[in-house]
Each structure stands twice: as structure tokens, then as C-alpha cells.
Amino acid sequence: MRLSLLDDTSSMPISSPITLHAVEVSHGQFAVDVDFGIDLSNAPALRLKTEVAQGDAQFVALGEPSRFDAKAALVGVCWDTEGNAGTNPATNFIGTTDNQPLVLRTRNVQSLRIEPSDITSGAVPINAGLFIEVRGRITIDGQVLMTEKRLHTVKFDSQVAYFRKSGEGLTHIYGAHYDHSDSHAGHPVFHGQIRSYVDRRAQIEQAFQISHPCYEAVDYVHGVLTTVSVPTAPESGVSGSSNR
């Protein structure tokens, strides 16, 4: 078998022909690996001429040279730094297929490392290792809405808890609540306060099945600035009579 790479008009060879011996053909099909010795990642449309020969006989062309897009043909083999076209997200991806981590480098130094994970959500592995549990509610003044056709927040509060996967369990790395209330003294200003929500780990452990019978969650938040309230908006913009 002989393969020749031609330009799109089939009039000019792009590289020297490659001759392959003892190519196995099954049901009229064959598969071979070839290297024409040139960079095809940014090549225009080309044509591939295929010839076959039996023994010492002359090569005979198998029809007309077939046209193909070299750049699209390389999808799944290499990724172009100028972007790829014709990819299939079901089969083409950047990553590993075994149990090894994925590492990205800049200046040959590790910048990002994604470890394989046995934690799943809907049968899909979760690799980030960071879990956030959020709760909250908001109360709107119905009378103001009906008479003045605007939204007036009477009360708002939310709690957020951050956990990181650590060994066989979770580490509570940050927690806070944010609130505002027209009727609660000291709360007309929307503010936030650091608080431990280590007890929320139960919901995450149940949802992602990562609990361990011998593991107790580490709490890095308890006792850290728990008596300090931090205003997160100017009082003039969120007072009890403002339009929110």
C-alpha cells in the first residue's frame, strides 16, 4: 500500500509518499498509523491518495484522492492552541482515563492539580473537594407592595457553611450569617457575622455519602470573631424605610 498527501487540487504532492507492507484488510477496511513528517495542525483541506499493489505489481489507485480536513482529523489526537473545531463533548476531553491526577503547569511549575475522587453526585465524580451548604429566607412587606407597588424587605437572613474534604471526612473552614431586620435592635444595617455551622456537615455527608464512622469533623471556625458584626452596606442604603 502507498499513501500520498496532495493539495486540494490533487495536482501537487505535499510530502513524499509512504509505502506500507503487509497491511491487513478486513471486509474491505484497513487501519494504519502514518507520519508524513509535517505539521498538519494548521493545514488547509488536503487530499489523500491511496494505492495498492499485489507482490511486485505496479501500484493501482483506489479511486480518486479523498478530500479531508487535516485539522478536524486531529481532534482526539491533539489539542490546538488556537482552538479546536469538530469536537464531540461525549468523547473528546482534556483529562485522564485512569486513577491519576490531572496537573496543569505554568513556567513548568504546578499551578493546578485535580485529584481523582470517589465522591459522586448523580454517579458523576466530584473532584473539587469543597462543599457549601446555604440556608436563608426573606420577608417582604405585603402592605407596601400592594399600596406603593414596590418591594420592601422587612427581614432577611442567610447562613452559609463551607466544608473541605479532608481524609475520610470534612473540615469546617468557614461559616457566616448575613441578616437584616427592621424590628431587631442593631440590625437595620445589613451585616455579616462569622459563625460556626459545623453541625451542618450532616446534610453534606448524607447527600454525598462521605461520612466515616470513626471521623469527627474538624472545626476551624468556632471562636473566631464570633462576637464581631461587620456592616456590608451603608445604613442610608438599607434603612428600615428605604426602597429595596
The residue written with cell numbers 491518495 in the block is: 49
Q: Give pLDDT tens digits for 17-34.
A: 889 888 888 887 878 888
Beta carbons of 182 and 140 less than 8 angstroms apart: no
pTM for the whole structure: 0.41
Q: Could you write out the three-class secondary structure of 72-88? A: HHCCCCCCCCCCCCCCC
Burial (CB count <10 Å: 0-12, 13-18, 19+), residue 184 = exposed
Beta carbons of 55 and 63 less than 8 angstroms apart: no
* Dihedral sign (CA 33, 39, 42, 43): negative
DSSP state, residue 221 = S
The lowest-confidence range among 47-51, 53-57, 71-75, 191-195 is 71-75
Give the Cα separation of 17 and 192 in Å (integer). Answer: 72
Of all residues in the chain, the percent with pLDDT exceeding 90 is 1
Average pLDDT, the chain: 76
147 CB-near residues (< 8 Å, 6+ apart): none
Give the Cα separation of 133 and 207 in Å (integer). Answer: 11
The residue written with cell numbers 412587606 in the block is: 141
Of the spans 81-90, 112-121, 216-225, which averages the highest pLDDT?
A: 81-90
Q: 3-state DSSP call for residue 229?
A: strand
All structural domains of the chain with their residue ranges: 1-94, 129-238
> Which H or E run includes 237?
helix 235-238
Q: What is the pLDDT of residue 238?
A: 39
Q: Give pLDDT tens digits for 129-164.
A: 778 888 988 888 889 889 998 888 888 888 998 888
Neighbours of 172 (CB within 10 A): 22
The lowest-confidence range among 65-79, 102-116, 127-141, 207-221 is 207-221
Beta bridge partners of 3: 18, 50
Give CA separation, 72 vs 46, 68, 69, 230, in Å: 12, 8, 5, 55
